[in-house]
A and B are shown apart, each in its own frame.
Chain A
Amino acid sequence: MNQEKFLIERALDGDIKCFENIVNLYQHRLYCFIFKMTLSKEDTDDLVQETFIKVFINLYKYNFKWKFSSWIYKIAVNTIKNYWKKRKRISSNEVYNSIPSELYCDFKNNPENKYQTKENYIEILKIINQLHYKYKVVVVLRYLNDLSIKDIATIIGVSPETVRTRIHRARERICIEFKKDLKEDII
C-alpha cells in the first residue's frame, strides 16, 4: 500500500515512469478480471487499455482513504458497463474459440467424475457468459484474491449483504442452467 501511495504521489508530481509502474502492477489483475467478464481477448485488450487511460486522467481525484485496488476495479467495472451499452457481448458459439488453452489443462486429474469434462466446462462458461451483469460482476470479483465482500460492495455501490445475496443467486442460476443442459442425465 505504501508503495502504491508513493507511486501515485510521484505520478501526480509528473513522474510518468511511476504511472508506468502502476500499470505494470495492475495490468495482469485487470486483464484476468476483464477477460472473465467478457470472454473475449479483443474486447479485453481494448477495455484494459481504456481503463488505464481513465485511471491516468482521473488520478488526481483518487482519495487515499479508499483502497487503490477498489478504485481501479470500480473504473474497470464502469468501463465494462459502458462498453456493453455500445456493443453486444460475444455469442455462446464464440465462447469455445475464445478460451485460452491453459484454462482446460487439469481435467485429467478427475477422470472419475463424469460431469467434469471439457464439454461441461464449455457449458459452464456459456452459462457464466449469459449471466445477468449484476450477478456476473459480483461472482467474478468474488474470486479475485485481493477483494473482500466489503470491497466488492464499495466497487458496485451496494451493501455487503446485497453482494452476498447476488453471489448466492448467481450460483443458484449456474446450477439451475447446468441441470437444464444435462436434462437427459437426470435420473
Chain B
Amino acid sequence: MKKCSYTIEDISNYIENSMSDEKNADMENHLKECSICKRNYSALKLTDHFLCKEIKNNKNYYNDVSNYINGSRYMNSLKYKISSKLYRTVPKVNVFASVAVPLLLIGLVLFFLKSNNFINKNNYISIREVDKIQATQPPTDNQKQNYTTTAPVKKDLKKRNIKKLKSYITITDKNITLENISKKLFEIYLDRFKETDIEPERIKDYKIEYVDITKNEGSKFEFYVTYSILPETDNYILAGNGVRGKNGWIVEMGCFVVVSKNNNTYSIENIGTSPYY
C-alpha cells in the first residue's frame, strides 16, 4: 500500500479551510482514495462539529448567583476602591519588583554570610580574629609578662594543617631581648604539638635548652634552638635530628628558625634543620 504523505496538521488545515485552492482540491481527491486519512478527517470533523456547536441554555444564572453574593459588597466601600486601584498598578510594580526583589535577596544573603564570617577564607585573618577574642578576655600569665600570645584555640587546630599556621606574638615591652622573643615564639610553636589530633606528632612535654641568635637584619632574624621533647606515645615519628634518651625523652633536637618582624609583631616564617639564609 502506498504510504500517505498527508499529516493530521494538513487535514486540520483542510477542515479550517486555510489551504490554497490547489491544495484543497488535492486533499479532496486524496480523501476519496485514502481510508486512513478519511478516518482522521472524520475524527477531526466530528471534533470540530462538537466543539463549534453552540448549546442553548435558557437558564438565568444571576438568580442563583444572587443568593450567594452580598449585593452591597462594593457599595461605598473605600477598602475595595483602594484595593482596586492597587491591583491596576500591580503590573507596573511587578516590573520594578522583578528587579528589586532578587537584588535585595542577594544583598541580604551577602550581609548574613559576612556577619557570620562565612567569607573568611584567609587563615591569617582567622588567627587575628582569635587574637581579638583573646584580647577581650582577662589578662593571662603571658600578658602579665608583657606578651600578647596568639596561640590558636583547639578548634582551629582541628580544622587546619598545624604546620600551615604561623606562630606570632605582639610585644608591648621594648626592653625584651630577641632571645626571649625567640624562646616564647618557639614555645607557642611546640605547644601546638601538645594539642594536635595527629597521634604520631603529639607530645606530652618539652624543654627549651638554648637559644642563639644567628642572624639579625632588621625586619628579619634567625635563631638556632636546642630542645628536648617527651612524645605521648612510642609511635612518635622522629624526623630530622634528635636522639632517644631516658624516660622516653628525645634529646639534642635542634633547628634554625626564621622570624619576621612587622611593627611589634614577630612571626615564624620558616623552621628547618639548616640555616635558611
In the complex, are the beta carbons of A143 and B52 less than 8 A apart?
A: yes
In the complex, are the beta carbons of A103 and B84 less than 8 A apart?
A: no
In the complex, are the beta carbons of A172 and B8 less than 8 A apart?
A: yes
- The answer to whether residues A60 and B57 also contact, given A168-B9, A175-B40 and a CB cut-off of 8 A, is no
In the complex, are the beta carbons of B75 and A14 less than 8 A apart?
A: yes
CB 8 Å contact bits of B17-49 with A (1 = contact, 0 = none)? 000000000000000000110111011111111
Does any Cβ of B come within 8 Å of A73's Cβ? no
A113 contact set on B, CB distance < 8 A? 42
A16 contact set on B, CB distance < 8 A? 66, 71-72
Which of A26-34, A76-84, A86-94, A154-162 lies at the interface with chain B? A26-34
A69 contact set on B, CB distance < 8 A? none
A120 contact set on B, CB distance < 8 A? 42, 46
In Å, the complex CA distance between A11 and B39 comes to 50
Pick the residue among A102, A106, A143 that contacts B55 (CB under 8 A).
A102
In the complex, are the beta carbons of A174 and B80 less than 8 A apart?
A: no
In the complex, are the beta carbons of B39 and A179 less than 8 A apart?
A: yes
Within the complex, what minimum Cβ distance (angstroms) separates A23 from chain B?
4
- The answer to whether residues A171 and B44 also contact, given A27-B61, A103-B53 and a CB cut-off of 8 A, is yes
Q: Among residues 117 to 164 in chain A, which have CB atoms less than 8 Å away from a CB atom of chain B?
A: 120-121, 124-125, 127-128, 139-140, 142-143
In the complex, are the beta carbons of A103 and B55 less than 8 A apart?
A: yes
Within the complex, what minimum Cβ distance (angstroms) separates B85 from chain A?
9
Does any Cβ of B come within 8 Å of A57's Cβ? yes
In Å, the complex CA distance between A127 and B38 comes to 18
Pick the residue among B9, B12, B59, B74 that contacts A14 (CB under 8 A).
B74
In the complex, are the beta carbons of A35 and B55 less than 8 A apart?
A: yes
Within the complex, what minimum Cβ distance (angstroms) separates B23 from chain A?
18
In Å, the complex CA distance between A127 and B61 comes to 30
Closest residue to B64 on the A side, CB-wise?
A49
Q: Is the interface of B mostly helix, strand, loop or mixed?
A: helix
- The answer to whether residues A27 and B46 also contact, given A32-B55, A53-B65, A139-B51 and a CB cut-off of 8 A, is no
Does any Cβ of B come within 8 Å of A111's Cβ? no
In the complex, are the beta carbons of A175 and B44 less than 8 A apart?
A: yes
Does any Cβ of A come within 8 Å of B69's Cβ? yes
Within the complex, what minimum Cβ distance (angstroms) separates B87 from chain A?
5
A75 contact set on B, CB distance < 8 A? none
- The answer to whether residues A12 and B74 also contact, given A23-B62, A63-B90 and a CB cut-off of 8 A, is yes
Closest residue to A125 on the B side, CB-wise?
B50
Contact residues of A with B, CB < 8 Å? 11-14, 16, 20, 23-24, 27-28, 31-32, 35-36, 45, 48-49, 52-53, 56-57, 59-65, 100, 102-103, 106, 113, 115-116, 120-121, 124-125, 127-128, 139-140, 142-143, 168, 171-172, 174-175, 178-179, 182, 185-187
Instruction: Provide a sorted-by-A list of 15 A–B residue pairs whose CB atoms are within 8 angstroms.
Output: A13-B74, A14-B76, A28-B57, A31-B55, A36-B51, A48-B61, A49-B64, A52-B61, A60-B84, A120-B46, A168-B9, A174-B47, A175-B8, A175-B43, A185-B39
Given contacts A61-B84, A116-B42, A178-B39, 6 further A-B pairs with CB under 8 A are A23-B62, A45-B59, A57-B69, A100-B56, A125-B50, A179-B43
